[in-house]
Amino acid sequence: MPAKYFILSGEPSQVAATRWGAMIEANLLTKYYKKIPVVSEASFSVGPGKITGFIGPNGSGKSTTMKMILGLIAPTSGSATINGRVYRDLEQPIKEVGALLEPSFLHPGITIFSHLLSIAIRYNIPSTRVGELLDLVSLSGKKKLRCGQASLGMKQRLGIAQALLGDPNIVILDEPMNGLDPDGIIWLRTYLRHLADEGKCIFISSHLMNEMALLIDEVIMIKEGKLIAGGSLPDLISGHSSAYIEVLTSDNAALTAALKAYSGQAIVASAVIDGDVFIKVRGISTKEVGNIALENDIAVYHLRQTLRSLEDIYLDLVNTEQKENIDAIK
Amino acid sequence: MTPSNDINGTVLEPVGQKAGLFDMSPNYKKRKLGLCVRNYLDCCRYEAYRIKVTRASYIALLCSLLSIIGLSILICTIYTVRANDLSPYQLITTDPVFLSLSGTFLAQLIIGVFAILSVTNEYGYGTIVTSALLEPIRTRFLLAKLIVVSSVIFLSTALALSVAFLVGEKILSARFQVVSILSLTALKSIAGSALYLTILSCICIGIAVSIRRTSGAVATLFGILLLLPIIVSLLPSPWAGEIGKYLPGSAGVVLAHSFQISNMMSPLKALAVLACYAILWMGLGIYFITHRDI
């Protein structure tokens, strides 16, 4: 295993990881299943104090990547490290990284409480912590229920409790919102934000784009095993948005003329949205548009900076790739 | 590295030290060994707790207990009732100790399935994911499971066999010459049978980890215990005996007897052969669990 030499050689990034907080790093992570690439050369890092979203279509290699980070699947080549070490080398793994992978991780004959307690016993965690976590995920009333009788949402809650049991600095959650009720989703969102504010590193995958847009700071997008986009969410959105301003006024023609007179960079077009004739402005701020309208005595009914949603960008990126692939085949 | 204080007076401990990255202390190896032992103990506690809170494990153990005692009562009663019909040769070759421990050969299937399920259930229910997250060193996970399951099986079968022996000898004492449970022969046979079941459970865990599916593993177990002796017995005469005596089932028969059976292995050799089977299967299991993805 090259992993041990990797630590001793003291790669700068690893020293940084141990000094500056929790981190996940993937370095040219690749997995082939019988010559079919599932993940190819994925390199990324997930830093502390942030929620990083891992987004991609079904079968794009999200879960495989997470399992490789957690040492469940051996990468064909490349490596994934947690705080500079591969999962195998962690002495008390669940105290460094907590994970929720799939909902079928429970023995149906064991009660919810016993399941958590068994893990607490393994890592010498006081049993009061189990109670606290059951309270946290609002399962304390159902702790005597056997896992086989628990609903999907309850299993997810239990999985989240299990991930947090060791109070780890890194939390990896694979589709944690599946089966959660709206209350649960809101709770999870606020709680994960709270954890990130404490400096923890949260790595979360989901296909609920609107939920993710509310939750994450950073985004890593994967498609067919290849990373197609990454970076902070605002950067991604502004980078992929043809941001424009929608304006609805009493005199569109006058405003158009005034805007063109004000700035040569302003690109103005008109558009019909829901029966109203709007003008779309680009290359100028909302404030400037408002001021110009005021100077020209034009009444403004609607003035809005449009940004594309994460979902739009996601669909765009995924489909562009597809188009490129089709072009390449042609 | 010593903890340093920052401006606010809070103690900063380098994360690396906590993670053991910069551990250069002279008794590092000693500490590492201690840590390893503690990890094994904790892992065993985890496995033991999970067996304790699962109802199915009680049912399996109760079934094996009942089969050990029940079959002993049945066989011993039949022999006692039909003692007059036995030829002098049969009377001499009848081993009262073996008769009262005959439940072993029914219990071996139940015990085997119990050991197999302790592993294949993990794969079936997906709890293997949790187990592998808790124990990144999978050999440790497997060996801890082996230690716990085989200890549970050894203790419970030793208890059941002792009870079966007492009951069986009580029934047989009407027509046969019996030995006390405190005699060396009796203790040797009881311990031997319990060890047979225990080592068999190790073989089963090896099979289960290699195959991962309950159906396949149970079929393999039944094949080894029930089909293989029949197939071997079909071979021409010197081969059938020579190969047949090294089968796991034959070793079990040897261990349950109070005297040396002609043309069979000695009890110690039988234990050694069983251990070889267990090591082979466990070796295969360890190879598979460390080389396959979860």
- Interface contact B129-A108, CB threshold 8 A: no
B245-268 per-residue burial string, b: 16 or more CB within 10 A, e: under 16: bbbbbbbbbbbbbbeeeeebbebe
Write down the pLDDT at residue A21: 59
For the segment B27-86, what is each residue's pLDDT rounded down to a tens digit? 777 888 888 899 999 999 999 999 999 988 999 999 999 999 999 999 999 999 988 888
Lowest-pLDDT range of A18-27, A164-173, B13-22, B137-146: B13-22
Cα separation, A10 vs B21, whole angstroms: 10
Residues B211-218: what's their mean pLDDT? Answer: 96
- Interface contact B56-A99, CB threshold 8 A: no
Strand positions, DSSP E, chain A? 24-33, 36-46, 50-55, 77-82, 97-100, 170-174, 201-205, 218-223, 226-232, 244-249, 267-273, 276-282, 300-306
pLDDT at residue A14 above 90?
no
Instruction: Specify the amino acid at residue B191.
Output: A
Does any CB of chain A come closer than 8 Å to the CB of residue B12?
Answer: no
Q: For B136, which residue in chain A has the nearest alpha carbon?
A: A88
- Decide: B48 and B144 in contact? Cβ < 8 Å: no
- Interface contact A91-B50, CB threshold 8 A: no
Could you tell me the strand order of the sheet in which A77-82 lies? Answer: A36-46, A24-33, A77-82
Write down the pLDDT at residue A7: 35
Tokens of A19: 């000094």
Does any CB of chain A come closer than 8 Å to the CB of residue B24?
Answer: no
Number of A/B CB contacts below 8 angstroms equals: 98
Write down the pLDDT at residue B232: 94
pLDDT at residue A251 above 70?
yes
Q: How far apart are the first and last CA of chain A?
A: 43
pLDDT at residue A236 above 80?
yes
Tokens of A183: 């209350």
The closest CB to that of B49, out of A118, A124, A162, belongs to A118
Residues A151-169: what's their mean pLDDT? Answer: 92
Q: Is A32 exposed, middle or buried (0-12, 13-18, 19+ CB in 10 A)?
A: middle
Task: Report how far apart, in Å, the C-alpha atoms of A238 and of each of A55, A56, A182, A208, B39 are.
Answer: 18, 20, 29, 20, 50
Q: How far apart are the first and last CA of chain B?
A: 38
Contacts of A122 in chain B (CB under 8 A): 42-43, 45-46, 134
User: When comparing pLDDT for A34 and B207, which is higher?
Assistant: B207
The closest CB to that of B19, out of A18, A94, A106, belongs to A18
Say what the ipTM of the complex is: 0.83
Distance from CA of B68 to the nearest CA of A (A): 26
User: When comparing pLDDT for B283 and A14, which is higher?
Assistant: B283
Q: What is the DSSP letter of B223?
A: I
Does any CB of chain A come closer than 8 Å to the CB of residue B137?
Answer: yes
Cα separation, A207 vs A223, whole angstroms: 12
Q: What is the bridge-based pairing of β-strands A170-174 and A201-205?
A: parallel
Strand partners, B11: B5
The closest CB to that of A18, out of B16, B35, B54, belongs to B16
Distance from CA of A232 to the nearest CA of B (A): 26
Distance of alpha carbon B259 from its chain centroid, rounded?
24
Q: For B138, which residue in chain A has the nearest alpha carbon?
A: A88
Residues A309-314: what's their mean pLDDT? Answer: 82
pLDDT at residue A242 above 70?
no
Is the sign of the CA dihedral B75, B78, B81, B82 positive or negative? negative
Choosing among A1, A88, A105, A158, which should be mutated to test the B contact, i.e. which has the most B CBs within 10 A?
A: A105
Average pLDDT, chain B: 89
pLDDT at residue A330 above 90?
no
- Interface contact B130-A162, CB threshold 8 A: yes
Q: What is the bridge-based pairing of β-strands B11-12 and A36-46?
A: unpaired
Q: Calculate what percentage of chain B has a pLDDT beyond 70.
A: 91
Is the sign of the CA dihedral A134, A137, A141, A145 positive or negative? negative
Residue B98 binned pLDDT confidence (cut-offs 50, 70, 90): very high
Residue A22 binned pLDDT confidence (cut-offs 50, 70, 90): low
Cα separation, A211 vs A53, whole angstroms: 10
Write down the pLDDT at residue A327: 55
Does any CB of chain A come closer than 8 Å to the CB of residue B288?
Answer: no
The closest CB to that of B129, out of A19, A88, A105, belongs to A105
Residues A192-221: what's their mean pLDDT? Answer: 91
Cα separation, B232 vs B151, whole angstroms: 32
Choosing among A38, A90, A122, A145, which should be mutated to test the B contact, i.e. which has the most B CBs within 10 A?
A: A122
Element (H, E) at A123: none
Greatest mean pLDDT range, A55-64, A298-307, B25-34, B143-152: B143-152
The closest CB to that of A71, out of B16, B35, B136, belongs to B136
Does any CB of chain A come closer than 8 Å to the CB of residue B32?
Answer: no
The closest CB to that of B46, out of A85, A121, A162, belongs to A121
Cα separation, A255 vs A303, whole angstroms: 13
Write down the pLDDT at residue A1: 34
A37-59 per-residue burial string, b: 16 or more CB within 10 A, e: under 16: ebbbebebbbbbbbbbbbbbbee
Write down the pLDDT at residue A12: 42
Distance from CA of B1 to the nearest CA of A (A): 13
Q: For B291, which residue in chain A has the nearest alpha carbon?
A: A74
Residues B204-222: what's their mean pLDDT? Answer: 96
Lowest-pLDDT range of A42-51, A125-134, A241-250, B231-240: A241-250
Q: What is the DSSP letter of B260?
A: P
Which residues of chain A have a Cβ shorter than 8 Å from any chain B Cβ?
7, 15, 18-19, 21-22, 67, 70-74, 83-85, 87-91, 93-94, 96, 99, 101-102, 104-111, 114, 117-119, 121-124, 162
Average pLDDT, chain A: 84
Residue A20 binned pLDDT confidence (cut-offs 50, 70, 90): low
Cα separation, B284 vs B278, whole angstroms: 10
Does any CB of chain A come closer than 8 Å to the CB of residue B130?
Answer: yes
Write down the pLDDT at residue A274: 73
